[in-house]
Structure 1
Amino acid sequence: MRIMLMTALTTLVLSPALHGQRLSWRDILQRLENDRPQPDFVYPYAGEDTLQFGELWLPNHGSSHPVVVLIHGGCWLDQYPGVELVYYIADDLRSRGYAVWNLEYRRIGYPGSGYPGTFLDIAQGMDFLRTIAGKHRLDLDHVITMGHSAGGHLALWLAMRKNIPASSPLFADDPLPVHNVISLAGIGDLAYFSHFGAPACGDNTVEELIDWSNRGKEAALEDTSPDHLLPFDGKQYLIHGVFDAAVPPFIGLQYNEKSKAKNQESELIIIPDSGHFEIIVPWSDAWKKILPLVKEAMRS
C-alpha cells in the first residue's frame, strides 16, 4: 500500500499535464512591489549582523497574543529571497489574532552560515521571544512554529532542541518550548531529502548546511535532522501540495511514517491543486485549508 501511494504521488508531481500554471516565488515578489504589508517591530536577536533579526507582527486587539514563529524557506541558500516571501501569511495571521515572529537567518553563501551558524541563528531568534514577551503581551505558553520548505525543516528542528546531545554546539540548557509544529512542504529527514529530493536545491546543499563532509554523516545528522531528534512533546502537521515538485509529497510521507514509528504524534495533510508556493499565500484555496490547522495547533 505504501509503495502504491508513493508511486501515485510521484506520478502526480511529475505529470506536466496535471500541473497547469503554478505560483512561483517571483509571482509573490512581483505582487509585493505594489502591495507590501509591513511588520510592527523589527528586533536584532544576536549581535549586529544584518541577517540576525526578527520581525514582529502584532494583532491590534486582545490582552495576550499566542505566537506563531514563522520561518521562510529558500533551500537554506542566500541567493533566494528571505522574510518577505511569507509577508502575506504573516499579515493574514496577524489579522486573525496571532502574533507572528518572522525570523531571518544566515543562509549558505553568507558569512557565518551553515553549521553551526544557521542553526544558532534560528535558536537564538526563538529564545529572544523571552526578551520581548512582556513588552508585547506575548503568550509564551502558546507558541507554535511554522516553516516553509527549508524553513519547515528549521521549524521542526526548533521543536526538538531539547533532544540535542549535550556534546553538540547546538545544545541549549533551557530552549523555549514549542507547543506544536506546522511544516509547510518541510523536510524532516535531511539524508532522505539529500538522496531523493535534493536537485531542487542543489546536489550538495544539505551536505554543506550540516558540514557533512567534515563531521561525518551520522554525526552531522544527529543534531540537525529532525528524524534523529524525535519525538517531542507535541504534534507535527506535515502539509504538502500534491503538485509540489520542489519538495514532493513523498518526502512528507516518508518522514510521517518514520515519526509515527518513533511514537511521535504526526499528521500528513496533502493539499489538492497546490504546488510549492500556493500554501504560503492567503488568497489560495490551500491557505483556507491550512488556517483551521493553525487554530487547532495553537489550541491543542
Structure 2
Amino acid sequence: MNLNQIIEEILRSSQLTYLVLVFFAVSLFLYLLFLTSFSILGLWLSEAGLWLAWIPLTLIAIGFPFTIKMHFLTQINPINPFFMSIGIVANIITFMGLMIPFLQISMTNEKLKKAMEKDLGDDYLEIIEKNLIVRFTQEVKFKLIRYFLGAKARFIRKTLNIYKEIPYKRIGDMDLKLNAYAPRRVGSFPIIIFIHGGAWMLGSKDRGRDENVCKMLANHGYVVFNIDYRLFPRKANTIAEMLSDVRAAIKFVKQIGPGFGGDPKTVFLFGRSAGAHLSLLSAFTQQGPFFKEELGQYKQEDLEVSGVIAFYPPTNLEALYNFYKILAPKIAMAKIIGGKPEDKKELYQLFSPVSYLTEQNAKFIPPVFIATGLKDKLVAPTQSKELYEKLQRLNITTVLLEFPNANHGFDTIQAGPNSQLAYKYLLQFLAWVLSKEKESKQLENAETYQQTRIVLTRSERHPTTRKPFFVSTEEDEAKTNRLFTEESMKYRAEKRVEISER
C-alpha cells in the first residue's frame, strides 16, 4: 500500500473528524505557545526555538497532503478541510516565528558589534593585551554545532576547583554562604562576584543555570564567587538588607580572594535581573555608607569594583512599577520596597540605581556592561536604555547590547543564539577593561617614577648609609647632588685618615 492509498483510506475513515480536531488542537496549542514568547511566560522560547521547530514542521508535512486531497473529495464534510487549513497556517506561523531569532542572528550580531565599537572604539580589540591571563573570543559568531551539543559541562568541571558552602556573613544564628569556582591553573585571576536574580524573592547560589554561568566564566580565567543573600519575605524585609549582604560579600571576597587565586584589586560584579539591580546599586554607592549602621564598617577600597555586568536590570523602580499592567507584580513590588510610589516615593528613589548617577558620584562609578532583550515583558528594556543614556552623559564607559528577539532571562540557555553572542561580547568587554586598567597602572607608575625617581645606581647612593636618594624635582635633584658631593668628600677624607693610621 503506497502513501496515496493510505491517505485515501484515512479520509474514508469514520474517525476522520476526530483526527482533524486532534490535528487542529495540537496546531493551535503550539501557536499559543509561540505567542507566549511575547509575554512573561515565554522567557526562553527565543533561545529554544530550533529544538521545537521540528514539531510544527512535521505537522505541516503531515497535514498538507491530507488537506489537498480533502478539497477534491465531494463526500468529505466541509468542516474538515477548513480546520486542517487553519491548523496548517497556524503551524507555518509558529515555525517561522521560532526560526526568526536564528534567521536574523547575523543581522543581530552586526548590530551588537557596532554597539561595541561605538562605546569602546573601533579598535577596541586591538587595545586588548595579548598576554592577559583571561581568555576571550576574538571573532564573535553564533555556532550552530554548539547550540545542539550544549555546554561541555564535564570538560569544564575538570578544569576547575569548586568550593561549596563558604560562610561570608553571620546574622543571628544564620550564616550566609557562597560557592567559589576557580581555575586550576596557577596565576592571579580577576574576580567576579555573581548575584542571582529572582525578583528579590526567589533564587539560590545552587540554582543549576546560575552555576553553569559561573563555571563558564571560571573556565575563561576568572575566580567566580556565587553568593546567597537574604530574600523577601522570609529573611529580608527590604532591599536594604539585601544590599547590605552584597556589600559584606564584596569585602569578604577581597579578603579571601587571593587564597583561591583571585586578584582582590580587580573585582567585577555580575547580576541578572534583581541581581543586576543589586550589583548596580552597590557599585554606584561604593563611595560611602548606605545605612547608618554601616558607619565605620567599610573603607572605600573595601567596596570598590573594576566593573559591573548587568543583564536586564531594574534601574528605575518607580518607572518599573508603572510599567506593569497587571496587579500581581505591583503588589509584590509595593511589599518589597515598603509601599506604593505615591506613598513612598523617597524609597523608590533610594533603591533606584539611576538616582546615583550624578556629577559628584561619576568619578566613583566603574565601567558598566548592559544586556537586555527588546521583547522583555518582566523588566522593560527602557530601564536599560535610561541607565545607558545617563551613564553616557557622565562620560562613564558603558556598553548596551540590545537583542531584538530576546525576552527576559534569554541567557539562561547558554548555547542559544542570543546567549552565545551576549557572553562572547561580555568576555571581550572584561578583557578590554582589564587591559585599560593595566595600561592606566603603567602610566600611573611612569608618572610616579618621573615625579619621585628612585636612584639605584652605586654612585648615587648615600656614601655613608648606602641608602638610595629620592629625587622628586630638578631643584631637589641639584640639592641631592650637592649633598652627595659633600658627603662623598667627607667619607673619602675619613677613609684616608683611617688608612694612614693603620
TM-score between both structures, scaled by the size of structure 1: 0.78
Match of 2:203 in 1: 81
Equivalent of residue 238 in structure 1, options 370, 376, 398 = 370
Cα 1:22–1:115 shift into 2, 3 Å: closer
Match of 1:4 in 2: none
With CA pairs under 8 Å and 6+ residues apart, which has the higher RCO, 1 or 2? 1
Letter in 2 for 1:173: K
Is 1:51–1:105's contact at 8 Å kept on the other side of the alignment?
no
Match of 2:399 in 1: 267
Equivalent of residue 249 in structure 1, options 377, 381, 384 = 381
Matched, 1:210 2:337: yes
Letter in 2 for 1:134: P
Cα 1:199–1:88 shift into 2, 3 Å: farther
Q: CA deviation at 1:147?
A: 0.5
Cα 1:151–1:260 shift into 2, 3 Å: same
Cα 1:132–1:74 shift into 2, 3 Å: same
Deviation string 1:85-118 (CA, Å, 9 cap, x unpaired) is: 4111111111111111111111112133424321
Equivalent of residue 220 in structure 1, options 324, 347, 362 = 347
Identify unmatched segments of 5+ residues in structure 1.
1-14, 28-34
Cα 1:198–1:139 shift into 2, 3 Å: farther
Identify unmatched segments of 5+ residues in structure 2.
1-33, 49-152, 434-502
Matched, 1:294 2:417: no
Cα 1:276–1:17 shift into 2, 3 Å: closer
Matched, 1:40 2:160: no
In terms of fraction of residues, the more helix-rich structure is 2
Match of 2:260 in 1: 136
Moved over 6 A (4+): 35-38
- Secondary structure of the residue that 1:47 maps to in structure 2? strand
Aligned CA-pair RMSD: 3.3
Match of 2:248 in 1: 124
Larger deviation: 290-299 or 232-241? Answer: 290-299
Is 1:66–1:98's contact at 8 Å kept on the other side of the alignment?
yes
Match of 2:44 in 1: 23
Match of 2:117 in 1: none
Matched, 1:57 2:181: yes
Deviation string 1:116-174 (CA, Å, 9 cap, x unpaired) is: 32111111112111231231121122211110001110111121122456664456433
- Count how many residue pairs are aligned between Structure 1 and Structure 2: 275
Cα 1:237–1:130 shift into 2, 3 Å: closer
Letter in 2 for 1:193: L
Is 1:211–1:220's contact at 8 Å kept on the other side of the alignment?
yes
Letter in 2 for 1:284: G
Match of 2:10 in 1: none
Larger deviation: 129-138 or 177-186? Answer: 129-138
Letter in 1 for 2:383: I
Match of 1:107 in 2: 231
TM-score between both structures, scaled by the size of structure 2: 0.49
Letter in 2 for 1:16: L
